[in-house]
Structure 1
Amino acid sequence: MEKAKINATQLFVLILLFELGSALLIPLAIEAKQDAWIAILLGMAGGCFLFLVYHRLYQYYPDLLLTEYVQKIIGKFLGRVFAFLYIIYFSYIAARVLRDFGEMMVTYLYPETPMFIINALLFVVIVYSVRKGIEVLARTGELLFVFMYLLAFSGLVLILLSGLIEINNLRPVFEEGIRPILKVVLTQTIYFPFGEAIVFTMVMPYLNNPKKAKITGLLALGLSGITLAIAMAINISVLGVNLTSRSQFPLLSTVQTIRIAEFLERLDVYFMLALIIGGFFKISIFFYAVVTGTANLFNIKEPSRVAYPMGLVILFLSISIASNFPEHLKEGLKIIPIVLHLPFQVMIPLLLLVIAFFKNRKKRR
């Protein structure tokens, strides 16, 4: 670990920006149709439970990273294997998020530019930020957080002034009962984006007041869940379920419909700034976990040395991860939650918590 400290406010901002990240970009929980916003809120509740599991592990080992305490819980050899698997997991998810934003930039801004160039330029900034350390990343988050929420508030006001919202598109509620909603929760929203907060097991040891970690994390997850639910409800009320499900980036499609007084329109570029900010922090935090985890696992004294080689791995992985965007989206929403998110976000942490509980009780005796 680097010798750095962040406060509770900075942790709150980092978790919030991280959670919004790529979740604002895609048609999240649209399989629940007009009840997508309910599926997001239920997923948030499940994500809060998972965060309590991560926080309990943090309480047992407040000064250790996930890659360190996993070795103490299940032994040196097996622990190093699991630590290495988590580094691969964080690298893979970072590459997926980078691909999300590369696709958005190619689709809306630079259709003639190769995606590799766009991803490389974005990742150069991320590598530079991560090399500066978690404190710099946290302070940057504090600055950009205010700007991002000003954009969100102004967007909501403009949509309301445009008269685009059709509340009937959100009806009927529970049209097919609770079962389809729970299916979406258990196969998607509990893992993406809320369960991905497991990456903060690599950040919480830097908190200067460990007692505030629990309430800070739960508040950040709660606010991010409410924000995502409102965003999805607005998308569906403006575009309708069919258009929202067919759109690659429904929030941008919603913003494109804004027209006020025949002159204020085409504001999608304006709001892409907010999306890029969220994406920058999500990729940066995953990448920071990769760099610190790798340095910790292989006893590298200067973690910044790991940034460039690992950055190249993630950059090339983001390009080769899927042949096209529909395939990439299908993998991310259908396959990855069960194959990767379920074991790494739920099963392994719960197993570690059970073992840590009995180990610590034995020590007390």
Structure 2
Amino acid sequence: YPDTPLFIANALLMLVIIYITRKGIEAIARSGELLFIFMCFLAVAGFILIISSGLIDFKNLQPVLKEGVLPVAKIALTETLYFPFTEAIVFTMLLPYLSNPKKASVTMICATGLSGINLIITMIINISVLGVDLTTRSQFPLLSTVQTIQVADFLERLDVFFMFAMVIGIYFKVSILFYAYIIGTATLFKIKSPSRLAYPLGIIVLFLSITIASNFQEHLYEGLHVARFLLHMPLFSIIPILLLIIAFLKNRKKQHR
């Protein structure tokens, strides 16, 4: 919808997110159980259609590590490490609400590993179908891959698959971040009913989403050049490590006493 104002699209999504966060973390988790099955169905169906179309050419993956391991390690440490994996630190805000906290570490490790495997498979498919150059230039490589699907000269233009997956993914990402935002604010200001903060904080997030980046190009610039150094590195890497060290030292002092 290129002619639809950005405010309308963002407001519709924020209304849904405000509603689900007011219902609590259990509502978010239960919606995740339902939509996860739908996401798996989309992924399997898309993979089958790509294979059926005969689009995959594994020669596009060659040569492997042409310039050695250093360029791969550089990208992993400067881009992939901070986004998306370090954002998993937000889930620590949800640990006090688990019915079985002992399974938290195993669950988070499995979820992070599964996310990594999904990213690897997706990138392999994108490069196998589009090639390195087109994958690098494309803003949404997976969308470009899905657009190339053509089965029996009638099943094509399956962009809706990609849009379903993107909307669901953004819904969960923003919901978790927004819920952590509400819980953190309520704890900081000692507010007994965090759900009351959903509407005012939601309005703040809505207007900031437009003022910080009014289009996709600005969003990319903010994410790659500004947020990486001002937010991702300190909030997702430096501060958690410092807190871990402080907690370790405090526990050590208690044990000595």
TM-score of the two chains, using structure 2 as the length reference: 0.96
CA distance in 1, matches of 2:2, 2:218: 19
CA RMSD of aligned residues (A): 1.1
1:44-72 Cα shifts (integer Å, max 9, x gaps): xxxxxxxxxxxxxxxxxxxxxxxxxxxxx
SS of the residue corresponding to residue 177 of structure 1 reads coil
SS of the residue corresponding to residue 348 of structure 1 reads helix
Which residue does the alignment assign to 1:217? Answer: 108
Shift of 1:179: 1.1
CA distance in 2, matches of 1:133, 1:322: 29
1:205-227 Cα shifts (integer Å, max 9, x gaps): 11111111111110010011000
Shift of 1:250: 1.3
- Conserved 8 A contact 1:187-1:338: no
CA distance in 2, matches of 1:124, 1:325: 21
Shift of 1:336: 2.2
Which residue does the alignment assign to 2:38? Answer: 147
Shift of 1:333: 2.6
Shift of 1:337: 2.2
Matches within 5 A, 1:183-202: 183-202=74-93
- Conserved 8 A contact 1:159-1:165: yes
1:325-345 Cα shifts (integer Å, max 9, x gaps): 223213313442233211111
Which residue does the alignment assign to 1:328? Answer: 219
CA distance in 2, matches of 1:323, 1:128: 25
Which residue does the alignment assign to 1:65? Answer: none
1:272-311 Cα shifts (integer Å, max 9, x gaps): 1122111100000000001111111111111111111111
Shift of 1:350: 1.1
Which residue does the alignment assign to 2:157? Answer: 266
Higher relative contact order (CA 8 A, sep 6+): 1
> Which ranges of structure 2 fall in alignment gaps of 5 or more residues?
none
Which residue does the alignment assign to 1:136? Answer: 27
Which residue does the alignment assign to 2:136? Answer: 245
Shift of 1:323: 4.4
Whether 2:40 is the aligned partner of 1:121: answer no
CA distance in 1, matches of 2:54, 2:117: 22
1:207-253 Cα shifts (integer Å, max 9, x gaps): 11111111111001001100011111111111112211222211111
SS of the residue corresponding to residue 155 of structure 2 reads coil
Which residue does the alignment assign to 1:156? Answer: 47
1:139-182 Cα shifts (integer Å, max 9, x gaps): 11001100110100110010011011111111111111111111
> Which ranges of structure 1 fall in alignment gaps of 5 or more residues?
1-109
Structure 1: which amino acid aligns with 2:175? S
Which residue does the alignment assign to 2:66? Answer: 175
